[in-house]
Every structure is written in structure tokens, then in C-alpha cells.
Amino acid sequence: MSSCGPSLVGNDGRRGDWKWAILGNRILIVDDKPDICSTMCAYMALAGFAPESVSSAEEALEHLRRAEVDIVITDIMLPGLGGLDLTRQIKKEHLADVIVMTGHSDNFSYEGAISIGASDFVVKPVRLEELLLRVRRVLRERELTEERNRMMEKLQTLAITDGLTGLYNSRHFYTQLESEVDRSSRYRHPLAMLLIDIDHFKEFNDTYGHLEGDKVLARFSQVLKSCLRTNDSAYRYGGEEFTVLLPETGAEEARTVAQRIRTALEMESFSPEPSRAVSKTISIGVTEYQPGEATTAFINRADAAMYLSKQNGRNRVSVLHADAVPRTEPAR
């Protein structure tokens, strides 16, 4: 392997290799003709890239296993593994783009190279100015693709997230519930649900205004997340109601989690008016999924358990089994 860029002098006076000078523009040239490699490397280095070269596909694959490369420029005709087979393997195993070169324009087509994953195709003898334009175009398209993917991920996240609380929204709750129920049934692991309602929230909003109510919702969401494990998930179900899915958790363990959440919020203090501290409480319903039951039955039972907490004085946890007498735990 040959590193063919000039050295640079850093701010600290030490000389550094060119390949570290411009992160993200790393080029690997694959050609068995040393003069071609040398000329291309020198030109790409002067254009501000970080070029290196190897003389075979096997060396290229070894280099890619050890270092990140943005673009591979490869000849089709190579000793051993050919350039097209190299391109196929790169696209299967690495993220680098590939520009294919050939001196045999009649035997290889642009369409053929693109169909196996190449980003572009050039015919030898290569005009270096043209190659540079193609490299820059490939990098620009790569950047645009990455930006588009980031935007899509952001939009997908926004689509399942409640804007005020940062929790998942009710739409995602139903999707995730189906997934967790399926997993619970397949592996025969327990699955518990909490349904939570903030007590007297309407009166709080009517007294202090919706902005102060929003502060309570946002703070409670933070408290809620702090009480959960990594594989648990919390959702804003609607208004002042929240749900929590607890995979691999039975009803009794879920009751303990619910009490932890209830106690944590009770210890919080809100100041909707100057010199006025207000505490808020929650009523929680707990239930465990019964194999084979409909998800609506599962949700309705959690809802019924939460209303038991309301009916019995609020600020408490109620556990409701599918085949047992309701159990309510008062505030302590």
C-alpha cells in the first residue's frame, strides 16, 4: 500500500500525514500500474483529498478492513480478483462508494457497473480533471443521501413522539403494544401495563392556566422516565393520561414500579404562583397480560384498575388481574 499525499505541518509544529488533514475525503486507488497510481494520488492530494493506493483487489479489501474509506477508484482488469468482483464485495461489506475504470469500453458497460453497485464509470485513459469532477459529484451525492436519511429518521421520530413531553405518543403505543404482546406470547414471558392519570389535573389547569399544566405534564414525564428500565417504554396516552409497558414483568413487580413512580411525583413541588408550592399526585392501574387475550381487553383492564384507584381516594396503585379480585394499595 502506498500513501501518496504530501505531509502537512500542524499548529503544534509536528508534521502529520496528509490523510488526516481532510476527514471524510479518503480515497483508495486500486490499479496494478504504479505510474497510474502515482499520478492519480498526486493529483487527488493536490485537490485536497487523502489518497492511498494498492495494486490488487485483495490488498484493497485488507485495507478496507483496517481503515475507513469514502471512495474506491478501481480498475476493472486486476491480477487475481477483478474490479467488478471487488465492487460487489465492497458494496456487500463496506460503506465506500466505488468508481470503476476500464480501458476496454467495448467489453464493459456503464449500466453493468452501476447495476452491481458502482457509483460511476470512467474510461481510460482517464482525464484527471474529469475524474476529479466525478469524485466530487459522488461525494456530494453521498452527503445528500446521508442528509436525506437523517431527515427521514428525524421525521420518523417526530411521528411517534409527543411534542410536549418527549414521550412516545398514543399511535406508537398501539404499535408497540402489538409487538410486545407478540413477543410475550412467543417466548412465554410476562408483560405488564400501567395506566396512569394525574389527579385533579383539570382543576389545576382551570386554576393556574394551561401553561402551568403543561409544566406539570413535562416534569412528570421526566420523573416517569427516570423510574423505568432501558427496555420499558412510556407513552402519553392522551391529555393527562400515560401508559407504561413493562416487558418480562409480572403484576407484582409492576406494582412495585408503579409505587416508585407514584412516590417520586408526590415528592415533587410545583410553583404555579409566586410563593405558592403545590404537589401533584397520580392514580395508577396495573395489570398483566393474559396469553391469548385481545389487546383491547388488556388495555381495558388497566383502565379499570386505574379507575379503582380514583374511586378509592386517588394517589394510589390498584392491581387488577384477569381472574382475581381487584387489589388496591393506598398512599403511604
Cβ within 8 Å of residue 167, ≥6 positions away:
161, 221, 224, 225, 234, 235, 236, 242
Nearest to 317, CA basis, from 288, 282, 289: 282
Give the ranges where the chain is alpha helix by DSSP (H). Answer: 34-46, 57-66, 83-93, 110-115, 128-159, 170-187, 201-208, 210-226, 251-266, 295-311
Tell me the CA distances in angstroms from 302 to 197, 248, 306, one per residue in order.
11, 17, 6
Cβ within 8 Å of residue 311, ≥6 positions away:
none
Cβ within 8 Å of residue 289, ≥6 positions away:
181, 184, 190, 191, 192, 193, 298
Nearest to 38, CA basis, from 82, 75, 3, 86: 3
Q: Is there a contact between 173 and 243 (Cβ–Cβ < 8 Å)?
A: yes
Enzyme catalytic residues: 240
Q: Strands 50-54 and 97-102: what pairing?
A: unpaired
Distance CA 116, CA 114 (A): 5
Distance CA 247, CA 259 (A): 17
